[in-house]
Every structure is written in C-alpha cells, then in structure tokens.
Structure 1
C-alpha cells in the first residue's frame, strides 16, 4: 500500500523554472532529530499531533460530522468552518506517513475519519457539517460561508494521503465535492459570485489538477481567479478589499485586507501561473511580493499589522505591540514563497521562507509542542491584559478559532519537502538543516547546527554534476571549501553559489559568518524609531521579563551600544542553541508626571534608589519567548542616548 518512492511534495508544478528546481519526493529528505528542524518534527509528531487529535474530539469537530450520520445528538460546536481543522490534521498525518512509513499509529483513526466523511457527505458530493447540520442552504453565503475554503483543505488532505500511502478513501470524498464545485462554479457555471470569501480553494484545485490530470479542476481555479474583483461578494460587514474583491487580481499591486486570505490567494495565483502562460498573473504576483515583503513585513517575517480585520495595514504601518502577525499568515507566506521560488529560482524567496520559518512560524508553537500563539506581537508591555485569546501574553493549549495548531502540524510534518530540489545531475539546497537528502543515485549528507551555527558540511556521494547553495541575504563573507580548496563566495544573480562537481565523492563546507547584527529600523516605520533589533544569522532575538532582576521593568531598559552585543550560550530548556549578551542601562521613570511631555534631560535624572544603573542583558530567540514565566517582551529595544552620544 505504501509507495513512498513516489511521494510528491505538497506543491508540485507541472513545470519549473529550471530542472534543479524540481521538487523532491518527501521521503527523499530525512532531518536529523537531534538538530533544529528534525527536533521540531519530532516534537510535532510526539506532542503536537496527539494534542490536536485530542482536541478535535473534545471541541466537537468530529461530533459535528457525527450529527449528520446519527452518531450523536450533541449541538454543533465551534466556528462554522471547524471541519477544516480535521482536514489540516489529516494532511499532517499523511505527510508523517510519508516521512516515517514504517510507523503509522494514526492509520486506523484516519480510516475511521475518512469513512465518517463519506457517510456524512450528501449524495451530490456536498460536505459541510455546519450547513448540513443546521438545515442551511448550500452556497448561500459565498462571502462568509467558507464552503469552498473547506473544500480546499479537504482536497489538500486527500492529495497528501494518496501521495503518501496510495489510499484513495479520502480522495473519493474530495473529488465528489470538487466535481460538484466544478459543475457549480467552473467556467460554465452561471454564478457571478462563484468564488470564496476566504481564498484557499484555488491553490488546492490546481494541485488536484496536477495530481489527477483532470483539466476541469485547473479551469475552475482560473475561473474563480477571473471573477474575483468584481465586487460580487458585497461589502457587509467588511469592505471588498478585506476579501481581496476590490479589483481584478491581475490589476492589484498592493497587499491588502485579511492577511491570511491575501497570502493564500497569492499562493493560488502562483500555482495557476505555473500551469498557464499568463503574464498578467506573473506581473501581479511580482507587485504583490514587493508590497508585502518590501513595505508590510515585520522583521520576524510576520504579516498583518492590524487586529481589526486581521489585516495588512498601510505601507510601513508596523507597530510592534499591536502586531497581529497571525501564525496562519506566516505559514501562508511560507507557502507562497515556495511557489515563487519554484517559478523564479530567486533566492530572495528562500530567504523569506527561512526568515519566516525560524521566527514568525516557530514562535507559534511552544517548546512543549502543546501550547500555541495565534497572534505574534513583537512587543508585550508590562501589565498587558492578555486574557483575550488573540492578544498574546501567554501561550494557550487551544483556541476558539483553532486554525493555527493544525496548520502548524501540517507544515512541520512536511518540512523536508522544502529543503532541496533537483534532478539526477543538478540540485539546489534552499533551507539548511542536518540530515540526508537523496536525489536519484546521489546522497547528500548534511552536518550542521544551523541556525545556531553557520557551518554546513555537505558530503556528496553519487553522480551529481552541480550543487547550488543559497547564500542568505543576511550573510557577508561566506566561505566555500570544496575538497580542501577554500575561497570567499557570493551568490550569483539569483542568490546561489554553484559548485561544479567531477565524478567521485566530495566534501563541501559552506561557512556563513554569524556575528550579532544590530539592526536599525526602516526610517518610515514610525513606531520603532530610536530602537534597534538584535539578529544573528536568520534568528531574531528579544528581551524577556523573565531574564531581568525583580523590580526592573523591561520598558526602562536601554541598550548601551558602546559595548558590542556578543554571542552567549544556548538554553537547552528553550531548545535555543544561542543567546545574545549585551549591556544595558536602566532609566527608571519613577517620579515622572503621568503622560507628560518632558525635557530630554528629565528622563536621565528621574531615578530612585540604585537606578539608573548598568545591567547585564540576555536576549533569547524571539521564537522561544513565553515558554517560561509570563511578562513583558520586546524585539525593538531603545538605545540609551546618554551613552551613545558621549
């Protein structure tokens, strides 16, 4: 039944920009469990997935479907799109089945879930536990109903399962629902509102076309893209831009509206553009990328600066304390950039994936694998009221809208798919992590402690003729040693260093210097003027209240840049391979009038007791915050003007 040698990656275009961008079978990459990416996968398998499955039961997601089959009389629970939590979980399990085919403890549970879905499905293929269980009318709310969104996640789970195991049980359910959508919303469909208020089905339909060869799925995705922007979804209670329905997709030049929807839509556009010759889609994608990553992205890779509507703000509107930066938006950005990388071969997309993965996405899961963030601010103030589930102050084991935990599970289980691409003769490495990559008859052994150390040792055993290595945008002075011959190396026009290989085994060592970088904010980001951020390699660091002495408020800390920050030891309990040590000044605000504008000299003299004074600071990886005691946190740290100007 298991055919892991055939397992394709989550997104497998019919054609790519170059042969060395061909996605590899998921089982071709094994990540070492004792190092960062592999350790994350281990926690995901051992902790996150069982936790998610338990909550699908306890929160009513499965009971919502059992209501349709007579299995329970319990009332509907959760958001009306709760079925998608099950579909994401099924996708995560499928990728785990490909990754570890000899150990599939969830197979009976998956078979039971697939049978439940098949029984609950209507005769015409429609499947939505909320609509069916509440005597609703199908397709009556294209703006907010999420029916096609549910179909999209069902398709992705079914494709993953069939690719990973050969089992068609879930695919049978998904295709019946997809065929109904084709008949209703395909090119011949008469509905002008034939597209979903929450984009996601577009990318799924394109992948279903790639998997089955059935052109109708691609044509339906294209028809939905063509209709978007006509305003047919209406505007209540949100404006059309919230749904990306304010302009035709080929005319849009700015990332707007609900961040997850925008980024899933962009991924679908990229998938469609990879299958058809459509310069309009390609031009729009390039403009959207410049807008999102050039003017609306947080340093961590987070997307979406407004709590209102979970949306993008204006260009450079990036307040750290009000950052929404939903975990699902970071995952969607990662998925979009993967598709852009396959289409263009440009390392900047790999850079964006790396930045987002090690910061905005990694922050979404606690080191225990069972606690999560929905929103991901870059600053939490002392005294912050974090009782609302979407105003983060501490991690939660679940959410009323639980889209993020199963989304994290499906991404982490498939991480190996994004490490490398290639064919028998040429290959590229995009993400660095310890493990093994098998490409045809060639085996690449990867030894590294990345992202905590910048040395990546690669052994090449096989007939590979060329290996391209991404040189990260943050790196200066990269060195490359090929079989004992070392030289400084820079990326080519696409950002990769290419190594030509003669027959025979080879040892390649890529050394990426990782000093502590002290980063100034963009001058147009008003909210963080006068501050700096600390980064080492791809990892962004933060100060956390847990590392300060009692009685010292994080808001009173200023960095003394006269003493350069330096690399400190890791913290095993945080699964952090490095910290940053720095010197600070405590500038206390005791005695200052409340919210009064003061002469600059007043801030230096308003102290009590031993303050102001010097303090040793330790910054931890941003992705590991809130794994200890609660309290304040900040990425952008004020610089002590008194010291820095003397």
Structure 2
C-alpha cells in the first residue's frame, strides 16, 4: 500500500469514527452500545474527573516524557537507530513505556492541539522510532541492541509482541486523533511483519504477556484490514496448548494451561489475564464468536465475586503479581498492581459495550475512584505500583512494589505511562449513543454532543454528592429519544425529576430510561441517595473477618495514622458497631469535601503473642475516628493505613 493510499485510508476511517476513543467497534460488530467519539465528550474543569485529566495533562504526562529521557528509554532507541553508543538502560521491555506515553500524548492532543511540547514529542519520537525500525518492519530496541540472536526465540519472557501491541495502540490513537500518520505507517509495517510470521501459514506461537490481541483488533477497526483481526483471533485460538512451556510459575501464570473458551477461573499474572480478556471481547464482537464472549463473562463472575478487592483491585500475590485462590484477599499483602486496575477498567468497558449490562459500568466506577485513583499522588508526579489495603505500623518496605509511599518513577515503570494514557482518553469512557438516545455511564461535570444534533450538559459534585443535574441544551429533530442514566448497584434509593416535577422512573437493568420528545432547556435531576455503608466481606475472606469497610457512594474510605491521637497504634483501633458513622467536613482538610466521622475504641494489645483459650480484649477510652477516601491516602504523610477496620466486641 502506498503512503498516499494509507493516509487516505486512515483519514477516512478517522472521519467515520469522529476521533473515536480507545475502543471503537465497527458497524458490523455485535455490540449493544456504541461509544461517543472522543471529541463529543468534554469534561468540565471544576469537576473531579476534569481536574484529574487536567492534572494528567499538566503534570503526569510531562513527567513521563521527562523520565523517558532521564531513564534511558529514548536513549535505547537512539542506540538501536545507530545514533549513539552505550549500555542498554532499564527493563528489556522499556520500549513499551515510550509507546504508552505516545498513546497518551496522542489522546491529549485531541483536546489540546496547540500544545507544542506534546506535538514535538510525538513527531520527534515517531521519527526516532522510524529510524530504529529495521528493514523488515521489526522494532524493538532491546533485541536490536542487546540480543539480536534471540529475536523471536523466547516468547515466554521476551515481551516482543507485548511491546508491539503498545506501539500499535499508540498508532491507533494517533490515527484516530490525526496526531501522526507516520506513526500509523510504521506500526502497520510491524503489524504486517507479524501477519507474515504468525499468520495462518506461519509459526504457531503466543506471547507470554498478552496485549497484542486487543491492539490488533483496534488496528483492524482503524484500517479495515482483516488480516489484523484474523491474527488476533489466531493468537487466542493457539493459547492453552502449552506453547510457552512451564516456566518459573507454571503455564497458569501465562494463561497457557487451557484453551481460552474452556477456562473456568482467572489465573496467574493479573495484568496478563485482564489484557487477554479484553482481547477476547474485542475479537468476540468483531467475529460474532459468542463462545469467546461467554467465556469472558464467565471469568468476570469468578474474578469479581471471588478474587477482587473491595476497592476493585486485582492480584493478591507479590511473588508472581498474580491472582490467589478463591477469597484469598489479604489487605496488607495485597498486590493490586496499578496496571491491573487499568486493565480491569478497559476490560469492563468492552464488556459494557458488548452487552449493555450495568454491572460492568458499576465495576468501572469502583475501579476508577478507588484502585486506579489511589495510584496517583495529588501532585500527579508520584505513583504507587502496588496498592495494598493496609500498611502496618512498623512496615518495612521490601522494594519498589511494596507500597509505603508513592515514588516518582520505577525501574519497571509500566504504571505511570499507563496512568497517563487512561486519563488522557478518559472522556471516551463516559457515555454511549445511538439513533435512539444517549446513555450516560459515569458521572461528572461534562457535556455530551450526541448524534442527531442532541447536546446534554451535566453538572454535579459527584462523587461527593449524589445530585446529578442535566440540561437538554439541544434536542435534535424533535423526535422522541431516550436519555438513559445509570443507577449504581450501591444505590438503594433515588429520585428523578423533569422540569422540576417528580416522575416515577423505575430502573431497568441498572438504568433509568427517560423517553420523550425533548425540548431545549428541559432539566432532568437524578438524585442518588448516598448513606454511609458498612461493608462486610464474604465469610471465606479470612483476612477481613470481624472487620468492616466504610463506603459512601462509589468511594471506599480508610483510616490513616495521621488522623489518630499521638501514641495511638492503628492496629489497636476498633470501630464501635453501635455508634453512627456520618459524613462530615473538616476545615483542616480543604481538599477532601467529605470525610466520615465514627466512634472508635482502643483495645489493650498487651499480653503474650499466643494465649490458651479465648483472648478477651479490654478497651480503653473511646475516640473519634476520621476516615478519608482511600484514593487520597498517603498524600499528607507516610504512615499506617487500613481499609478493613476491626469491630469492637459487644456484650
């Protein structure tokens, strides 16, 4: 394909998709919902989501670019291009961090086309990648500079296809936003090499770190070139044959122990599992393969109902960054990798589009406001790799991944660029639309331009308050259409009014559907009740037995040492189960609109480590407890924290 023809193809696809976001099912796909184009959703800068995205643009994304230069990622590519000499820096998959940051920059340029710094980063890095790319299309600095003899030789650990996948996803973002045709060109050269090597008559092989599957599906969606989708499906069909060998942790670690359509439980490395599941959904809807979609939904049941933390985090084992046994969810040893939260969010979005089921939007919300948001500091330049639900008094951090404080960068820096790309593309995840109406799945200050000349303005202090106000700014042709609003699964009571008049509107399958011939200026108010909830874990979650977690709306709360009297040990604090827990505001915490106030007791922790018979705790003076949103912990000072709070014994 000539460069001119390629550019025309990409531009035509981008025009049809109106700057589509990260997931853009084709018209023929078996998707229940269709996402709004990225440019059709604008986040208000006063809302929490809008402030997060602005922080990402002003702080996180430039911070990632700086560290790619400072940590040697860009230098590796210069060496691969023959422009410098020196030792390879960082992990062997360091290129993937460049690609993720490129993707973030492309999404951000859709909203900030005047940003000369980002434009220069995209253009300069794309040109460097082109110079580092080999004649046959291969592009990987580690296997070009350090181990050319091992190219394609070690699929279990090489991450070659993983890096290729992130390059392709960066190219998809660049193609959909118009950020760089050149990036699409070089990514397609690599993708064509993959089709030649691994296609129908090629090598039977899969990657030890899934990611390429969803990337190839999106490249197909961008270009319409069917071999990319066919290769994604081939990789899924080959998985489960033991092609990757046993390895250090066994084939379950790679999800290579059983064919993907037959697996009954999530296993192994959590990020790999979740990326694989996202690819399964993409291929399922584009090929009409319901067996793949059914398998993904079956595995969702296992993951969410037996192996996911109350914050939405995935992965309970540090040793292999993996899922544990059913109900193995230790709060203090939680791994909860940030990249797993991001992968869960992306997977649930694909399931939501495929099925229209509100439970997937509920899970996206839980992950976004808790497991994901906690990973970023208030300044946008420090990050958690792992996200425990408890840090003990006297905790000794065993390394970068054993979180006691957020760090500015990591030797394995997969998480910060991943955070940047999700936040840069966040508007693409809020709503879907079709000829019949507009569906709003995530709430925040925003405006939506739906097809047919419909525009809706949304104003809310969510997640701090449950009142969501919407105005029909433009009504379209005057024909009836539906405004569908999600009622979260945690919400037991809500009210709806239109034009100031209460209406009876029962939620069906998690959504209130309001259908009428709307007129401009009409207001709709959805008011979600937000009482404090005391959440208990399943009895088989031994590590949380006798404890409760406090939640309000979509937010999970925690206790921090910073809010306890001097000398009080967090592990000795108990919650008084008979006293109310109330929303409150503290003048000394201006950045936290809603804290929770509860009554606690301090247990006498004296005595030997073990005692014959039942140990009866003696409680001391009651104290007032302040719980803060989990996503904000660790921003004031280092110290102990816990989500699961022991309940004082009664009687």
Is the TM value for this pair above 0.5? Answer: yes
**CA distance 1:218–1:571, shift in 2 (3 Å):** farther
Picking from 407, 411, 428, the partner of 1:417 is 428
Residues 1:308 and 1:569: Cα distance change in structure 2 (over 3 Å): same
148, 170, 189: which one aligns with 1:157: 170
Which residue of the partner structure matches residue 604 of structure 2?
Answer: 588
Write the distance in 2 (CA, Å) between the matches of 1:331 and 1:73.
Answer: 35
CA positional deviation for 1:443 = 1.1
Map 1:68-83 onto structure 2 (within 5 A). 68-83=80-95
The one of 633, 637, 643 aligned to 1:625: 633
Aligned to 2:377: 366
- Contact 2:69-2:75 at 8 Å conserved across structures: yes
- Secondary structure of 2:117's partner? coil
Check the 8 A contact 2:460/2:468 in 1, yes or no.
Answer: yes
Point out where structure 1 has 5 or more consecutive residues left out of the alignment: 606-611
CA distance in 2, matches of 1:617, 1:533: 13
Q: Which residue of 1 aligns with 2:500?
A: 484
Q: Is contact 2:30-2:286 (8 Å) kept?
A: no
Say if 2:29 and 2:285, in contact at 8 Å, map to a contact too: no
Contact 2:32/2:355 (8 A) holds in 1? no
The equivalences for 1:201-212 within 5 A come to 201-212=212-223
> Match of 2:548?
532
Q: Tell me, yes or no, if the aligned pair for 2:31 and 2:355 is still in contact at 8 Å.
A: no
SS of 1:417's equivalent in the other structure is: helix
CA–CA separation in structure 2 for the residues paired with 1:232 and 1:424: 46
Which of the residues 153, 162, 167 maps onto 1:140?
153
Which residue of structure 2 lines up, in the alignment, with residue 609 of structure 1? none
Once the two structures are superposed, the pairs formed by residues 480-629 of structure 1 within 5 Å of their partners are 480-487=496-503, 489-492=505-508, 494-505=509-520, 506-569=522-585, 575-589=591-605, 591-596=606-611, 599-601=614-616, 603-604=617-618, 612-629=620-637
Separation in 2, partners of 1:131, 1:508 = 57
**Do the aligned residues in 1 keep the contact of 2:271 with 2:339 (CA within 8 Å)?**
yes
Contact in 2 for aligned 1:16/1:342 (Cα 8 Å): no
In structure 2, C-alpha distance between the alignment counterparts of 1:133 and 1:46, rounded to whole Å: 34
User: Residues 38-117 of structure 1 correspond to what in structure 2 (within 5 A)?
Assistant: 38-117=50-129
TM-fit CA distance, 1:280: 1.7
Residue 300 of structure 2 aligns with which residue? 289
Match of 2:391 among 380, 405, 421: 380
1:225-264 aligned within 5 A: 225-264=236-275
What is the CA–CA distance in structure 2 between the aligned matches of 1:27 and 1:571, rounded to whole Å?
A: 38
CA offset at residue 108 of structure 1? 1.3
Higher deviation after alignment, 536-545 or 20-29: 20-29
Of residues 626, 643, 647, the one that matches 1:635 is 643
How far apart are 1:500 and its partner, in Å?
0.7
Aligned residues of 1:20 and 1:423 also touching (Cα < 8 A): no
Q: Work out whether residues 574 and 624 of structure 1, in 8 Å CA contact, stay in contact via their aligned partners in 2.
A: no
Report the TM-score when normalising by structure 1.
0.95
CA-CA distance at 1:571 after TM superposition:
7.3
Contact 2:268 2:320 (8 Å CA) reproduced: yes
- Counterparts of 1:203-222 in structure 2, within 5 Å, are 203-222=214-233
Task: From 266, 270, 282, give the equivalent of 2:277.
Answer: 266
Find the counterpart in structure 2 of residue 354 from structure 1.
365
Compute the displacement of 1:488 (Å). Answer: 5.2
Q: Hey, what's the Cα distance between the residues in 1 that align with 2:586 and 2:466?
A: 15
1:544-575, CA deviations, whole angstroms, 9 ceiling, x for partnerless residues? 01111110000010001221100011678674
Given that 2:206 and 2:243 are in contact with CA atoms closer than 8 Å, whether structure 1 keeps it comes out as: no
Question: Structure 2 length as normaliser, TM-score?
Answer: 0.94
- C-alpha separation in 1, matches of 2:32 and 2:425: 20
Shift of 1:576: 2.8
Q: CA deviation at 1:100?
A: 2.5
Q: 1:560 to 1:488 in 2, by over 3 A?
A: farther
State the Cα deviation string for residues 408-433 of structure 1 (Å, max 9, x = none).
Answer: 00001111001111035411000000
- Asked if 1:394 corresponds to 2:405, the answer is yes
What residue number does 1:426 align with? 437
- 1:54 Cα offset (Å): 0.7
- 1:127 corresponds to 2:139: yes
Q: Describe the superposition over 1:280-312 as per-residue Cα deviations: whole angstroms up to 9, x where unpaired.
A: 212211211101111111000000111121000
**Matched-pair contact (CA < 8 Å) for 1:15–1:274:** no
Query: Aligned equivalents of 1:72 and 1:436: distance in 2?
Result: 48
TM-superposed deviation, 1:99: 2.0
Structure 1 425/104 Cα, relative in aligned 2: closer, same or farther at 3 Å?
A: farther
Aligned length: 632
How many Å apart are 1:238 and its aligned residue? 2.1
Q: Could you tell me which of 402, 414, 436 is aligned with 1:403?
A: 414
Unaligned runs of at least 5 residues, structure 2: 1-6
Post-superposition shift, 1:110? Answer: 1.2
Contact kept in structure 1, 2:270 and 2:321, CA below 8 Å: yes
1:69 CA displacement: 2.1
Moved more, 571-580 or 101-110: 571-580
In 2 relative to 1, CA 318–571 (structure 1 residues): closer, same or farther, beyond 3 Å? farther
Matches within 5 A, 1:425-444: 425-440=436-451, 441-444=453-456
**Larger displacement relative to structure 2 (432-441 or 592-601):** 592-601
For residue 168 of structure 1, what is the aligned residue in structure 2? Answer: 181
**What is the CA distance between 1:442 and its match in structure 2?**
1.2
**Correspondence for 1:457 among 469, 474, 483:** 469
| Matched residue SS, 1:361 | helix
Q: Could you say what secondary structure the match of 1:613 adopts?
A: coil
Matched, 1:10 2:22: yes
3-state SS of 1:309 partner = coil
Tell me if the contact between 1:195 and 1:224 (Cα under 8 Å) persists in the aligned partners: yes
